[in-house]
Structure 1
Amino acid sequence: MSSLVAASDLARAAYCPRQLYYARREETREPPSSVDAIRALAFEYPSLVEARDDELTTRPLATSPEDYRTNLRELRNRDEWEALTEPVARDVLLTGKDCRGIAHKLVGDPPIPSFVSPGTPPEQGVWEPQRVRAVALAKALAWEREAEVPRAIVEYPAVGVVRTVTLTTRNKAAYRRALRVARELDFVPPRLQDSAKCDGCSYRTECGVKTRSLKSLLGF
């Protein structure tokens, strides 16, 4: 296996190492068309911000048309609006020292990467798997440009919300943990116990074989 780890694998490793194990066994790992439809919204903010209810109800939103317009209007008042709606580049493959992945946008000057999530955000901040993926993209861009990239962006276009991920000590530590797990994952890791994460996992029906402990996985 290449020493370069996919940024998407790092996100799975942060979410559930067992899920990553099953995903790596799939012949194809392309996202479903429903994900593409949601990500397309991230490139239509200027038209969506004033769209009528009947237009918005035909789109894959995770909130009401009224709330969606409100969120986009709040976003329009932020300094990032122009950079997000006029990105420097789209769907750029970034290759760093340890990982590689697609930045759905490069925004700003100097540019920072943006990852477009098909999901919804927590009340504050960004879910850990997406923070790890954002850090991975920032590190890969920094490696390519030979310049510091101190932050990245995670967009949630299904609700019209955009969050910033800074490369704090905590976020970089989470990235390193996920990188270690992803590189050493050559066996079936333990199942999560009574976790809500399992509810929406596409591998939950086959998740039942013997495992090694997570302590063993991490070398404790």
Structure 2
Amino acid sequence: MSSLVAASDLARAAYCPRQLYYARRDDDRAPPAAVAGVRALAFEYPDLLDASDDALAARPISVSPATYRERLARLRERDDWDALTDPVARDELLAGKDCRGVAHKLVRPTDDESERPPEPVPSLVSPGEPPERGVWEPQRVRAVALAKALAWEREASVPRALVEYPAVGVVRTVRLTTQNKAAYRRALRVARDLDFVPSRLRDSAKCESCAYRERCGVKTWSLSSLLGR
């Protein structure tokens, strides 16, 4: 188990290897306390759909109450609404061949008419907001890692995962496409080989929201510079 890479580390590796280095060095990989409040929304969709403006305004949503209810109403039209609101498991620790991580939900698919009950798919609940389309690469990588870990445990095909953004009432699907699996493998290589301080990103918007921004410094340090070469 100790040799397995944490799925959250893969997400950091995809976002910025230097960020992962700092998180490992400082043993600082727990999410901020505010994250729990946002993730809790993902388990209350039916109640939130009927909540008043004042009740919604008191919760950590990132859009207006009216917009939030509209998005949950659209979410209710999904075939897997019942499965999303009544998952077969919560906070399930998964361990695969290469990585381990927590699926915030295991959601039973509803589009399989075979005699054998379909395997559930993992759902990652994100405290942030999605891009206009799809899912941010770090979350795609983490979702793929969870799907692969679940497939390893169940010895079954798990062709997709979900990423929920409960602060805005949006759920996106991540399929295990060739492109997404390639991104996962890249992040896995980075996470496994990270035994020195990676170069700092140059002029990246990613730095603006990074928790290590103030500690990261303004210079790009290479391995050679650290060795005084």
Q: What TM-score results when the alignment is normalised by the length of structure 2?
A: 0.90
Residue 53 of structure 1 corresponds to 53
Alpha-carbon distance between aligned partners in 1 of 2:3 and 2:188, rounded to the nearest angstrom = 10
Alpha-carbon distance between aligned partners in 1 of 2:16 and 2:2, rounded to the nearest angstrom = 21
What is the CA-CA distance between 1:31 and the residue it aligns to? 1.4
Residue 83 of structure 1 corresponds to 83
Please give the secondary structure, in 2, of the residue aligned with 1:43. coil
Native 8 Å contact 1:3 1:183 kept in 2: no
After superposition, residues 48-127 of structure 1 pair within 5 angstroms as 48-108=48-108, 109-127=118-136
Residue 211 of structure 1 corresponds to 222
Q: Residue 151 in 1 paired to residue 168 in 2?
A: no
Gapped regions of structure 1 (runs ≥ 5) = 214-220
What is the CA-CA distance between 1:57 and the residue it aligns to? 0.3
What is the CA-CA distance between 1:25 and the residue it aligns to? 1.5
Query: What are the superposed Cα offsets for residues 159-215 of structure 1, whole Å, 9 maximum, x if unpaired?
Result: 0000000000000000000000000000000111100000010101111362249xx
What is the CA-CA distance between 1:30 and the residue it aligns to? 1.9
Structure 1 stretches of at least 4 aligned residues deviating more than 3 Å after TM superposition: none
Determine what percentage of the aligned residue pairs are the same residue. Answer: 74
Query: What are the superposed Cα offsets for residues 44-91 of structure 1, whole Å, 9 maximum, x if unpaired?
Result: 000001111000000001111111101100000110101100000000
1:192 to 186, 201, 204: 201
CA RMSD of aligned residues (A): 1.3
Alpha-carbon distance between aligned partners in 1 of 2:15 and 2:29, rounded to the nearest angstrom = 17
Structure number with bigger Rg: 2
Native 8 Å contact 1:153 1:163 kept in 2: yes
2:180 to 171, 185, 202: 171
Alpha-carbon distance between aligned partners in 2 of 1:153 and 1:12, rounded to the nearest angstrom = 19
Please give the secondary structure, in 2, of the residue aligned with 1:153. strand
Alpha-carbon distance between aligned partners in 2 of 1:206 and 1:33, rounded to the nearest angstrom = 21
Native 8 Å contact 2:11 2:141 kept in 1: yes
Residue 115 of structure 2 corresponds to none
What is the CA-CA distance between 1:28 and the residue it aligns to? 4.2
Alpha-carbon distance between aligned partners in 1 of 2:190 and 2:28, rounded to the nearest angstrom = 22
2:150 to 141, 158, 178: 141
What is the CA-CA distance between 1:110 and the residue it aligns to? 2.0
What is the CA-CA distance between 1:9 and the residue it aligns to? 0.2
